[in-house]
Amino acid sequence: MTLSQAKTRHEELAAEIRRHDDLYYVQARPAITDQDYDRLYHELLDLEEQFKELRTPDSPTQRVGGEPVKSFRSEKHRVPMLSLDNTYSQAEVRSFITRVQKLLPHQQLTWTVEPKVDGLAVNLRYENGALAVGATRGDGTTGDNITSNLKTIRSIPLRLHPPSRRPLPAVLEVRGEVYMTREGFKKLNAERAASGLEVFSNPRNSAAGSLKQLDPRIVATRPLDALFYGIGAVDGDHVPQCHDDWLAWLKDAGFKTPEKIWICHSEDELIAAIDALDKIRHNFRYETDGAVIKLNDLPLREQVGYTAKAPRWAIAYKYAPEQAHTRLNEITIRVGRTGALTPVAHLEPVFLSGSTISRATLHNEDEIKRKDIRIGDTVIIEKAGEVIPAVVGVVMSQRPPNAEPFDFPGHLAGKCPVCGSPVRRDPQFSAWRCENIHCPAQATRRVEFFTARGALDIESVGGIVADKLVERKLAPEPLDLFKLTAEKLGELNLGDEESPRVFGRKNAEKAVAAIERARTAPLGRWLFGLAIPEVGKTTAGQLAAFHDTIEEVADSPLLKDVIAYHDKKKDKDKDESDAAAQRLLDAGFAARSKSEKETGIVTEVGPVVARSVLEYFASHEGREVLRRMKDLDLHPQSQKSAAKKSGGLFSGKTFVLTGTLPSMTREEAGSRIEALGGKVTSSVSKNTDFVLAGAEAGSKLDKAQSLGVRVIDEAEFLKMCAA
């Protein structure tokens, strides 16, 4: 095939595919089978493979052509993308009409009413009929260039259909709204829920999140669509002079336009149109939250003009969120990942804004009190653009005579509904919380505690990072942190889909290095980090001082003796109690009590703690921790035993630490030195063996140099440790 033959065939095929795309995606009247369409498409692909020059950006094969980008380029709008003033009452609509009429006293005005689509505003620039740039609204002056993402929306023409009546403008900007259909949104959320991903709260957020994706291949999988209701910059003559003509022109050129528009000549007609739209808008495939009222005549629009933010010739009328009345059957309490207890209303199922509702959020105790919501009440529920509806009030006239005020703590009987532990109201917030960090619902708290300073000191993984790691199931439990890679962690989205904020590779590498260091953190920190009930920092240190490994603590004869000593004393089994006391004294775990008689001893770790530790390691959770630590090759050692094992590499050596070390805190370096039998002191003298100096080391470094003490940096120190 010659190039010119290929060109002709390419033109034919592309035109045919465009025609079928339009029939299928814009007009919803497909004319061929999927197989026939695929045949045409593959012939086009093959042809472009053979003749690369035919692969132009507006070819039907180039819808998902772009490579992922690092960030979007900015796009300055040639004509600003303004917003609309909102009104919430018909009276305000009437005064808007009066206002405009006053500015155009002798004109017989024509108005249009059309749906206000709940999506994202975009601007498409066509140059000589081909889609050149697609951008978001941004701040109205400058948006993001999201051309590759917009090209994936099949109903957006990559090339304008030649208009039947007038020539194409050389530049034409078309403005409209990208949305996700209700149906597409439901399906997408169901798929996301099934694969453990965060679900979107409403179709608008879902569309916004999708358009912000940096990889057009992901955008292509999202059920996005778009419709167009206006124009921006236009370079060309003989273009329409009325809004309704423009809409007809755009439709002709291949765009989806509003489902229905009303042309009105009076206030009353206009109000009637707003009401008529309200009756049918729930049948649209996309969500709408209002009616947009626009002056039809474009030259008159220019006479009326603009404020800084919005045109004076248009206004949005917002419909009140739909409400429904239904019976509140029950209130249950949900336990969140951080331990917060949230009340959930269980409702008699009711149909509202297109779906059946049987649950709604009640926010917290104070909200229930403020609205005086009681079980058995007929409640008013509202869906304000969110998937989860809210209870906004009570129909007092329908309150059953026996309905009692809802007693939040009483309902809980003081106990967490998941684990049965005591609950407490957070004095700073309106939330009740379950106190038990081991409550199965509270994974975030466990991860956070584990990473805290004084525990495993992986602080970059605390707070929001911990919560997202749990939510996204990357580290649902603390020990899962040891399976994270910098690659996976770097991609973690700390925001939501709508406003993504990734953790980033650099932060991830730092965090993974901190996790790696935690592997060899001393036993005391581990015992503290596991949040064993009753084991605070001091107790953890005590336990570590008398045990070498975690397995030893788990099955500790000393702890058993502490319990035996107290139990037997209670049972008046003097021999057993004395024997236990003696063993504890021999081990140095107890001292003779001064206040009690000869046999009396005191231990820092009492029977309550001893029992709690042994019970923890005997519990399913504790056994799992031990098993997983073994699997992950985690064998924390007490400093004493680490020093013993390494043969006291630094024994007899004195270190002074100064300045900021590149990868570890001074505290961590100190722990290592001590673990290897060395000593850390605070001032440099001729007895100092090493000064470990980091950045911005001050007088200690000077002194070391003047005394001729050996100064080492972190790299050298680590080499010494590894020796």
List, by residue number, the catalytic residues: 116
* 190/320 with CB nearer ligand IVH: 320
Smallest distance from ligand IVH to CB 287, Å: 11
- How far is residue 463's CA from residue 466's CA, in Å, rounded to a whole number? 5
For residue 178, the minimal CB distance to ligand IVH (Å) is: 9
Are 160 and 168 contacting, i.e. CB atoms less than 8 angstroms apart? yes
Enclosing H/E stretch for 43: helix 34-50
- Per the CB < 8 A criterion, the answer to whether 44 and 63 are in contact is no
**Nearest alpha-carbon partner for 526 in 509, 549, 500, 510:** 549
Q: Cα angle vertex 115, ends 114, 118, to 5°?
A: 150
Question: Contact, 417 vs 330, CB < 8 A?
Answer: no
Q: How many CB atoms lie within 10 A of CB 570?
A: 10
Q: Which is nearer to ligand IVH, 257 or 507 (CB)?
A: 257
Residue 495's CB is within 10 A of a number of other CB atoms, namely: 13
**Helices (DSSP H) in 572-619: which residue ranges?**
574-587, 607-618
Nearer to ligand IVH, 229 or 255 (CB): 229
Please give the residue whose beta carbon sits closest to ligand IVH in the complex. Answer: 121
Beta strands in 70-127 (DSSP E): 74-76, 86-87, 111-117, 120-127
Distances in Å between the alpha carbon of 266 and those of 109, 294, 299, 525, 655? 8, 13, 20, 77, 89
Q: Which is nearer to ligand IVH, 115 or 522 (CB)?
A: 115
- Nearest distance in Å: CB 297, ligand IVH: 15
In the block, which residue shows the tokens 């034919």?
12
First-last CA distance in the chain: 71
Under 8 Å between Cβ of 440 and 422: no
Structure tokens that stand for 36 in this block: 């026939």
Of 173 and 448, nearer to ligand IVH (C-beta) is 173
Instruction: Tell me 521's DSSP state.
Output: -
Given a contact cutoff of 8 angstroms between Cβ atoms, the answer to whether 458 and 451 are in contact is yes
Residues that bind ligand IVH (CB under 6 A): 82-84, 114, 116-117, 121, 137, 177, 229-230, 258, 292, 311, 314, 316
Closest approach, Cβ 286 to ligand IVH, in A, equals: 10
Contacts of 502 (CB under 8 A, 6+ apart): 490, 491, 492, 493, 494
Q: Which is nearer to ligand IVH, 227 or 489 (CB)?
A: 227
Write out the DSSP string of 215-255. Answer: -HHHHHHS-EEEEEEEEEEEE-SS--SBHHHHHHHHHHTT-
Q: How many residues does the structure list for the chain?
A: 723
User: What Cα–Cα distance (Å) separates residue 427 from each residue in 366, 387, 430?
Assistant: 12, 30, 7
Residue 239 Cβ, how far from ligand IVH at the closest point, in Å? 17
Give the H/E segment covering residue 548: none
Distance CA 147, CA 187 (A): 25
CB of 114 to ligand IVH, least distance (A): 5
DSSP H or E run through 310: none
Q: How far is CA 1 from CA 7, 10, 11, 46, 323, in A?
A: 10, 12, 15, 12, 65
- 23: DSSP letter: I
* Cβ-based nearer residue to ligand IVH, 59 or 296: 296
| ∠ Cα 535 541 542 (to 5°) | 85
In contact, 163 and 139? CB cutoff 8 Å: no
